[in-house]
């Protein structure tokens, strides 16, 4: 920040704007007002004023402006944003998914190549902003809720429990699909040339095929096997239509009580299954680290002593069959 702009009132009145132009050179600009923000882009890239629009994101607190000035003493405002520090200091969140860096700032998600002008692009709105935009879309205004889509009283708690059980199913299937050790039968090994081939092939299998492949190489503890059979049977009903089954009609008191008992019963068995495949998931990671070392960038928190203890439970649930090594 310019030295003359770093004293007294110079830290006050700055705002972060998202300046839109041609969709390629859209970028973040700090300015005192919308007109000033547009002016930065117009003068830097030669856009016509009619081609540029600035959307105010948030006010920049003086402490955030001061920190940015210390890190960027030669970059003045109004101007572009360089680096990640300013975003951190105004509450942005960061993550990497599928090798793509993303930044969340006030219900807006941006894809990031680098924290510099023209290397950050708007991706989508989420949360309240996304819902607000959908509600303001006149083409969707005619879509109405039917009575069967509205839940009151105790029904909404059952819907919540149903969602929790569905999330449990997804977590269990995630653990299974990433437990490549369970696919290490002799027959499966012959299909793949490398451990990555086996892991990728394992992930492509359906849940039923995964279970059959596991049983080729491993003896499953009888208690787990009994719980797994019950889980698989009830999972299909849960996922594929329990709310349309006359027995579990949540519009009736009888149906509500039937569904409540089912969900509690399902949860008990699912937790045993989850514990087993969670241990196989961590055992697969442990095996990979011991064999090939910790991947670059993988922190110790990502797999530490707590996870090692869970991995050690693997052989309480699974025993490799003879001739599978």
- Chain mean position to CA 172: 16
Q: What angle do CA 171, 173, 177 make, to 5 degrees?
A: 120
* Alpha-carbon span 279 to 318, nearest angstrom: 10
Is the domain of 180 the same as that of 285? yes
Please check whether residues 218 and 174 belong to one and the same domain: yes
Q: What is the pLDDT of residue 308?
A: 83
Residue 207: the pLDDT is 78
Residues 6+ apart with CB under 8 A from 118: 24, 25, 26, 27
Based on the domain organization, do 84 and 162 belong to the same domain?
no
180 shares its domain with 282: yes
Tell me what pLDDT residue 119 has.
93
Residue 267 lies in domain: 152-320
Q: How is residue 66 written in tokens?
A: 């001061």
Among 98, 132, 166, identify where a domain stops: 132
- What pLDDT shows up at residue 115? 94
The residue among 17, 2, 4 whose CA lies nearest residue 81 is 17
Whether 162 and 281 map to the same domain: the answer is yes
Q: Flag whether 325 is in a domain.
A: no
If you search the block for the tokens 């991947």, which residue do you land on?
295
Q: Is residue 156 part of a domain?
A: yes
Reported as a single tens digit per residue, the pLDDT across 130-145 is 888 877 777 666 666 6
Same domain, 175 and 306: yes
- 94 and 230 fall within a common domain: no
Query: Residue 139 falls within a domain, yes or no?
Result: no
Residue 108: per-residue pLDDT: 92
d(CA 19, CA 194): 48
Q: Determine the pLDDT at residue 134.
A: 78
**CA-based Rg of the chain, rounded to a whole angstrom?**
27
Looking at residue 226, its pLDDT comes to 92
Q: What's the pLDDT score for residue 188?
A: 63
pLDDT at 322: 73
Question: What is the spatial distance between Cα 168 and Cα 160, in angstroms, rounded to a whole number?
Answer: 12
Compute the distance between CA of residue 40 and CA of residue 43 in angstroms, rounded to an integer.
Answer: 6
In a 13 Å sphere around the CA of 8, the CA atoms on its Cβ side amount to 2
pLDDT digits (tens, 9 = 90+) for 159-179: 899 999 999 999 999 998 888
145 is a domain residue: no
Name the pTM for this structure: 0.68
In whole angstroms, give the CA distance from residue 34 to residue 53.
Answer: 8
Residue 140 counted as domain residue = no
3-state secondary structure (DSSP) of residue 15: strand
Residues 68 and 177 grouped into a single domain = no
Q: What is the pLDDT of residue 137?
A: 72
Q: How many domains does the chain have?
A: 2
Residues 181 and 281 in one domain: yes
The residue count of the chain comes to 325
- Predicted confidence at residue 91, as pLDDT, reads 93
Q: Is residue 147 part of a domain?
A: no
* Stretches in the chain below the pLDDT threshold 70: 1-9, 139-151, 183-199, 292, 294-302, 323-325
Whether residues 12 and 120 share a domain: the answer is: yes
Q: Specify whether 31 is located in the same domain as 66.
A: yes
Do 157 and 124 belong together in one domain?
no
pLDDT at 4: 40
Q: What gap in Å lies between CA 127 and CA 106, rounded to an integer?
A: 9
Instruction: Specify the residue for token string 């016509």.
Output: 48
């Amino acid at each position: 920040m310019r030295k003359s702009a770093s004293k007294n009132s110079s830290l006050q009145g700055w705002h972060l704007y998202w300046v839109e132009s041609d969709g390629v050179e859209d970028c973040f600009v700090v300015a005192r007002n919308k007109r000033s923000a547009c002016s930065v882009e117009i003068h830097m890239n030669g856009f016509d004023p009619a081609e540029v629009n600035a959307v105010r994101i948030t006010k920049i607190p003086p402490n955030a402006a001061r920190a940015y000035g210390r890190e960027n003493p030669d970059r003045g405002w109004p101007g572009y944003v360089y680096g990640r520090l300013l975003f951190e200091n105004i509450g942005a969140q960061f993550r990497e998914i599928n090798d793509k860096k993303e930044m969340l700032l006030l219900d807006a998600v941006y894809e990031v190549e680098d924290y510099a002008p023209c290397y950050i692009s708007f991706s989508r709105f989420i949360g309240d902003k996304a819902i607000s935009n959908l509600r303001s879309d006149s083409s969707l205004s005619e879509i109405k809720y039917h009575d069967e889509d509205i839940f009151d009283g105790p029904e909404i708690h059952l819907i919540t429990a149903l969602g929790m059980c569905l999330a449990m199913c997804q977590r269990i299937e995630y653990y299974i699909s990433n437990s490549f050790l369970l696919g290490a039968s002799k027959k499966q090994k012959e299909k793949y040339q490398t451990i990555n081939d086996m892991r990728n092939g394992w992930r492509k299998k359906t849940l039923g095929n995964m279970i059959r492949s596991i049983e080729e190489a491993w003896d499953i503890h009888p208690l787990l096997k009994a719980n797994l059979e019950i889980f698989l049977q009830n999972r299909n009903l849960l996922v594929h239509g329990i709310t349309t089954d006359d027995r579990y009609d949540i519009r009736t008191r009888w149906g509500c009580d039937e569904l409540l008992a089912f969900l509690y019963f399902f949860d008990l068995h699912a937790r045993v299954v989850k514990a087993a495949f969670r241990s196989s998931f961590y055992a697969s990671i442990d095996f990979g680290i011991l064999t090939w070392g910790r991947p670059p960038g993988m922190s110790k928190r990502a797999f530490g002593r707590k996870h090692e203890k869970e991995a050690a439970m693997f052989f309480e649930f699974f025993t490799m069959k003879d001739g599978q090594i």
